[in-house]
């Protein structure tokens, strides 16, 4: 197997690159500091791209990434990557959460103390040979009320260290449980309470639509006069123009930032304010952190090259490696069911209802549903589906207005120990399919519309709906034999009261449109459909 080609766009420790380049599954090219134009020219030749915060991976860039499967961020934040476009194109984005947690935590505490004690301003005065003690009288961190917005990995570590200063800790995080907050010594409060009661506010949230400009003119007015604002998380969480106004009015006593809306800043007015201190995005810039995130991202890429398991993917539901042998057959079953629909459908798909029964309930079902939708869209022949894979199948489906409902059923639907049942609804019909896994590589279609069947979900399948009368199967066999087509498997289903039947033939040979026309002319046959199942790529 050819090695996985990896392009390094931003600086990583050379000794780490050299060590991972010795793995047979990776071929690493170090292009640290590569320009946008050069990256656009070269990105199409690689399977994976590794960036830090410098390189912006835009939609235009990704349109040139015809081969790319992975984007690895050596760090936690991924706001410099167009995740939406990557997902549309089926490219997995992974990061390294926790790799720089300690570095960012220590930087936050350092910035907090530096702001309270005017350390940068006093240092600058001393460098100018001014001995000025009175102007730089500061405040202690000891027993202050600190509001922590966002209690993920870094926010929790900050809380642990602030407890050593005997700080009163308030926290705002809609996802954190009260039990964990109690263990951290943090009192969870609504955001407005945190703003009103905190002497110091430190931010530790991702940059998402809900957190952009979280601190702005209105929320800063709610703060305690003389509050200290610390942001070592993401630029844009605080509105910089509103913060400058609050610094000038004294509502904010001082601010300490490591991150900015634009990097480097385009408007230096905030940085120039005498009660603002800043650093140029150094939170993760320690030798230890850079070593750690480089090791972590390259190990994750090597692991993906070996196993196809994407650890720490931010746009794809990755599966625990221990579960992979159990869940992989259901991935394939779901894909094949979707592939049947894509080749027999009439009309545009508008809704899919997916139900899981039996042993499969012990496994994560959302990734299985992604494989089903991949199969349903891949063979549709519609424009824009050439990049469909499990990473983007659900996103593409929903962007096309397809409603997807996924449910787990505790009670067994049939005697099968596992079952995936789905209803595909188009503007013209509803197609019901259900399938099961008999063994690792034995996949069966057990429900087709209202019929109970036991058809092999492999190779070439001819699905014939006909009247329940003698002689149909014989006539079909005769036609196929005359064209040198062998029948490898046959499954029949009947609705006796309605005198209706379905016969599903697995065949070996080429089923041409002319053969389909011959079959359609047989008296008693209502509809003939042909499905070609392809092995998973």
Torsion of CA 319, 322, 325, 327, to 10 degrees: -40
Respond yes or no: is residue 245 known to be catalytic: no
50-80 b/e (C-beta count within 10 Å ≥ 16 → b): bbbbebebeeebbeebeebbbbbbbbbbbbb
Query: Which position among 24, 38, 263, 288 bears the catalytic label?
Result: 263
* DSSP string for 262-305: SSS-S--HHHHSTTEEE-SS-TT-SHHHHHHHHHHHHHHHHHHH
Respond yes or no: is residue 263 known to be catalytic: yes
3-class secondary structure per residue, 467-529: ECCCCHHHHHHHHHHHCCCEEEEEEEEEEHHHCEEEEEEEEECCCCHHHHHHHHCCCCEEEEE
Contact indicator for 66, 42 with CB cutoff of 8 Å: no
Chain centre distance of CA 478 = 52
Query: In Å, how far are 37, 158, 415 from 243, measured between CA atoms?
Result: 36, 23, 65
Name the burial class of residue 472, with classes exposed (0-12), middle (13-18) and buried (19+) by CB atoms within 10 angstroms of its CB: buried
Contact indicator for 169, 187 with CB cutoff of 8 Å: yes
The strands making up 525-532's β-sheet, listed across from edge to edge, are: 486-495, 500-508, 460-467, 525-532
Length of the chain: 537
Task: Give the residue from 20, 38, 36 showing the smallest Cα distance to 28.
Answer: 20
Angle between helices 513-520 and 472-482 in degrees, nearest 10: 150
Give 55's contacts (C-beta < 8 A, 6+ positions apart).
Answer: 9, 10, 34, 39, 80
Query: Which position among 204, 281, 336, 444 bears the catalytic label?
Result: 281
Respond yes or no: is residue 129 known to be catalytic: no
Query: Which position among 52, 107, 234, 335 bears the catalytic label?
Result: 234
| 401 vs 410: CA distance, rounded Å | 29
Bridge-based pairing of strands 186-188 and 168-172 is parallel
Query: In Å, how far are 147, 151, 163, 433 from 193, measured between CA atoms?
Result: 9, 16, 20, 53
Contact indicator for 494, 451 with CB cutoff of 8 Å: yes
Annotated catalytic sites, by residue?
234, 263, 281
């Amino acid at each position: 197997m050819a090695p996985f080609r990896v392009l390094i766009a931003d600086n990583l420790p050379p000794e780490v690159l050299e060590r991972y380049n010795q793995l047979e599954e990776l071929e690493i090219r170090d292009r640290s500091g590569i320009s946008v134009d050069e990256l656009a020219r070269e990105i199409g030749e690689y399977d994976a791209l590794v960036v830090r915060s410098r390189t912006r991976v835009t939609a235009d860039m990704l349109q040139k990434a015809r081969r790319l499967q992975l984007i690895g961020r050596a760090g936690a934040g991924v706001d410099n990557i167009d995740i939406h476009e990557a997902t549309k194109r089926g490219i997995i984005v992974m990061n390294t959460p926790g790799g720089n947690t300690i570095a960012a935590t220590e930087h936050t505490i350092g910035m907090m103390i530096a702001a309270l004690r005017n350390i940068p301003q006093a240092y600058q005065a001393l460098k100018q040979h001014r001995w000025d003690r009175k102007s730089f009288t500061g405040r202690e961190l000891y027993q202050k009320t600190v509001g922590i917005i966002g209690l993920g990995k870094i926010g929790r570590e900050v809380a642990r260290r602030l407890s050593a200063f005997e700080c009163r800790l308030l926290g705002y995080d809609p996802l954190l449980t009260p039990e964990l907050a109690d263990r951290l010594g943090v009192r969870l409060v609504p955001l407005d309470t945190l703003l009103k009661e905190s002497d110091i506010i430190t931010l530790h949230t991702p940059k998402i639509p809900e957190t952009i400009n979280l601190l702005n003119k209105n929320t800063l007015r709610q703060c305690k006069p003389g509050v200290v604002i610390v942001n070592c998380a993401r630029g844009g969480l605080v509105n910089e123009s509103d913060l400058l106004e609050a610094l000038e009015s004294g509502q904010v006593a001082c601010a300490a930032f490591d991150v900015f809306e634009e990097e480097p800043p385009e408007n230096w007015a905030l940085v120039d304010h005498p009660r603002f201190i800043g650093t140029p995005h150094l939170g993760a810039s320690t030798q230890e952190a850079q070593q750690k995130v480089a090791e972590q991202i390259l190990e994750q890429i090597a692991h993906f090259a070996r196993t196809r398991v994407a650890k720490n993917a931010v746009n794809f539901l990755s599966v625990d490696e221990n579960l992979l042998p159990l869940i992989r057959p259901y991935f394939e079953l779901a894909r094949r069911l979707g592939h049947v629909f894509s080749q027999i459908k009439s009309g545009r798909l508008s809704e899919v209802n997916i139900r899981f029964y039996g042993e499969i309930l012990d496994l994560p079902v959302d990734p299985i549903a992604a494989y089903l939708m991949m199969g349903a869209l891949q063979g549709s022949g519609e424009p824009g589906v050439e990049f469909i894979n499990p990473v983007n199948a659900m996103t593409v489906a929903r962007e096309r207005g397809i409603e997807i409902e996924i449910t787990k059923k505790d009670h067994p639907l049939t005697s099968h120990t596992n079952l995936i049942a789905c209803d595909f609804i188009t503007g013209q019909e509803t197609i019901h399919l259900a399938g099961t896994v008999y063994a690792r590589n034995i996949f069966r279609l057990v429900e087709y519309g209202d019929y109970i069947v036991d058809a092999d979900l492999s190779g070439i399948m001819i699905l014939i709906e006909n009247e329940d009368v003698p002689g149909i199967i014989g006539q079909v066999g005769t036609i196929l034999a005359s064209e040198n087509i062998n029948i490898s498997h046959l499954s029949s289903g009947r609705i006796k009261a309605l005198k209706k039947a379905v016969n599903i033939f697995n065949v070996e040979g080429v089923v041409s449109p002319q053969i389909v026309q011959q079959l359609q002319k047989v008296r008693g046959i209502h509809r003939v459909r042909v499905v070609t199942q392809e092995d998973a790529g």
